[in-house]
């Protein structure tokens, strides 16, 4: 049986969608296997809202590798 928790988590620079101001902003994105998640505790540089529930759009290092 395979557990997702066993995969290493990488914190990488990326871009997330802020639901409060509906802009895409740069933030640290956690990458676990193929799953991506916004790192908790960050705030939006535009509207200062919490990015905890924001959607992770891109991880920059993945774009560079593509
Ligand atoms: Zn915002």
Residue 54 falls inside a structural domain: yes
Q: How far is the CA of 56 from the centre of ligand 1 (A)?
A: 13
**pLDDT for residue 48:** 97
Structural domain range at position 27 = 8-65
- 37 and 46 Cβ atoms separated by less than 8 Å: no
Q: How far is the CA of 11 from the centre of ligand 1 (A)?
A: 20
- Does the pTM exceed 0.85? no
**pLDDT for residue 44:** 97
The environment of the single-atom ion ligand 1, i.e. residues with CB closer than 5 A, is: 18, 20-21, 44, 46-47, 49
Residue 12 falls inside a structural domain: yes
Residue 44 falls inside a structural domain: yes
Residue 1 falls inside a structural domain: no
Q: Angle at Cα 26 formed by Cα 57 and Cα 33, nearest 5°?
A: 45
**pLDDT for residue 61:** 83
Tokens of 47: 């509207």
**pLDDT for residue 3:** 61
- What is the domain count for the chain? 1
Residue 2 falls inside a structural domain: no
Mean pLDDT in consecutive groups of 10 residues from the start of the chain, 66 residues: 76 96 96 92 96 93 77
Q: How far is the CA of 36 from the centre of ligand 1 (A)?
A: 19
Tokens of 44: 């939006």
């Amino acid at each position: 049986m395979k557990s997702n928790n066993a995969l290493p988590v990488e914190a990488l620079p990326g871009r997330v969608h802020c639901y409060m101001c509906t802009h895409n902003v740069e933030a640290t994105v956690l990458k676990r296997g193929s799953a991506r998640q916004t790192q908790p505790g960050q705030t939006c540089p535009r509207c200062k809202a919490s990015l905890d529930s924001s959607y992770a759009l891109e991880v920059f290092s993945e774009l560079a590798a593509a």
